[in-house]
């Protein structure tokens, strides 16, 4: 098992069930981890550790009675600052003007609360969520855990950094033109923008989606079981549909894989399988369609993957 701050939500729930770890145990470890790294990352807004500990204590009591209140009882979650939570202002990442406290939870916050997830904090975003960076006139600069000199991407910048740094397993961002997908890619985590209307959102408008940001595909699927429930406040919501989000089986026969890049021989598409064997997607019936994406040379020159300093015994 990974260190506690690197545990997935599915691992946490299993540990709660078998009593090898309680939500309070995990919360205390997580707070110590955040105290070590948050001064460097600046990923969180409205972080209230005492309120989080109190919620974790109540969850631990429910698990001790074998009476969890919901499917995510005791699992920490963060929400992008733009997603309203009752009693907190929504500053929209900007210092322009005063923001009143939200009167109710937005749909993603409400669904996770219904399943008894524990709100750890909100996460930072740039001004009005309109930059692909971690720079905000209200929150300051959010840094990439892999390399503190690097950008997180945006606009779900704090969520990407929090997920990569192991600030709990579950994080929610919002996305119009890449605001979940870009920071997920730049911070090396899973990001999913679902079909418009699949996750109800408020306020709603064309293109705006909420989406999970996690360290594993399993956890993103687990979050979708909560987030995708309907909410009448979103007039663009899709009709309820019985989707088993946790069924991750994929039939690759007939799929076509487009591999972009300067090397049209599709070098690197074949990956190493367990035991050192080579894995060829085409062997399973998937067609490989090499394409030259014509990336500018300046984007590729000197490109490298840099890992951040050790984060409590493991890389970010």
22, 155, 156, 226: the catalytic one is 155
The Cα–Cα gap between 91 and 183 comes to 20
Quote the CA–CA distance of 259 and 252 in Å, as a whole number. Answer: 16
Q: Which two tokens stand for residue 166?
A: 């192991």
- Which residue, 118, 146, 115, 150, is CA-closest to 134? 150
Query: What is the Cα–Cα distance from 133 to 142, expressed in whole angstroms?
Result: 8
* For residue 155, cis peptide bond before it (omega within 30 degrees of 0): yes
DSSP states of 19-54: TSS-HHHHHHHHHHHHHHHHHHH--EES--HHHHHH
Main-chain dihedrals φ then ψ at residue 95, nearest 5 degrees: -90, 5
State how far Cα 212 lies from the chain centre: 5
If we measure between CA atoms, which residue out of 56, 58, 66 comes closest to residue 27? Answer: 56
Catalytic member of 59, 80, 122, 136: 80
Torsion, Cα 297 279 316 153, to 10 degrees, reads 40
Catalytic residue among 59, 136, 157, 179: 179
Please indicate whether residue 80 is annotated as part of the active site: yes
Distance between CA 85 and CA 73 in Å, rounded?
Answer: 18
Query: CB-based contacts of 104: which residues, under 8 Å, 6+ apart?
Result: 84, 86, 110
**Catalytic-residue membership of 179:** yes
CA–CA dist 117, 91 (Å, integer): 23
For the question of residue 137 being annotated catalytic, the response is no
Distance in angstroms (rounded) separating the CA atoms of residues 193 and 112: 17
**Which phi and psi angles does 189 have, rounded to 5°?**
-125, 180
Active site residues: 80, 155, 179
């Amino acid at each position: 098992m990974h260190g506690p701050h690197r545990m997935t939500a599915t691992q946490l729930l299993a540990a709660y069930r078998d009593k090898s770890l309680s939500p309070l145990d995990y919360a205390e470890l997580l707070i110590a981890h955040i105290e070590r790294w948050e001064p460097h990352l600046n990923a969180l807004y409205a972080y209230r550790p005492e309120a989080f500990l109190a919620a974790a204590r109540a969850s631990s009591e429910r698990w001790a009675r074998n009476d969890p209140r919901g499917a995510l009882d005791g699992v920490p979650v963060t929400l992008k600052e733009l997603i309203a939570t009752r009693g907190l202002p929504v500053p929209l990442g900007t210092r322009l003007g005063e923001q009143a406290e939200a009167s109710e939870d937005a749909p993603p916050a409400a669904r996770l609360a219904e399943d008894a997830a524990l709100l750890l904090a909100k996460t930072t975003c740039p001004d009005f969520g309109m930059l692909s960076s971690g720079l905000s006139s209200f929150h300051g600069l959010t840094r990439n855990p892999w390399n503190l000199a690097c950008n997180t991407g945006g606009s779900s910048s704090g969520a990407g950094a929090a997920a990569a740094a192991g600030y709990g397993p579950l994080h929610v961002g919002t996305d119009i033109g890449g605001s979940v997908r870009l920071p997920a890619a730049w911070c090396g985590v899973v990001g999913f923008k679902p079909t418009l209307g699949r996750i109800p959102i408020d306020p709603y408008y064309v293109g705006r989606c909420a989406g999970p940001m996690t360290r594993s595909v399993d956890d993103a699927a687990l979050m979708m079981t909560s987030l995708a429930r309907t909410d009448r406040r979103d007039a663009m919501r899709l009709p309820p549909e019985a989707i088993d989000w946790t069924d991750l089986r994929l039939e690759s026969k007939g799929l076509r894989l487009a591999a972009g890049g300067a090397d049209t021989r599709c070098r690197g598409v074949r990956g190493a399988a367990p035991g050192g064997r080579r894995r060829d997607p085409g062997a399973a019936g998937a067609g490989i369609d090499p394409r030259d994406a014509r990336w500018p040379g300046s984007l590729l020159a000197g490109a490298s993957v840099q890992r951040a300093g050790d984060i409590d015994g493991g890389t970010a």
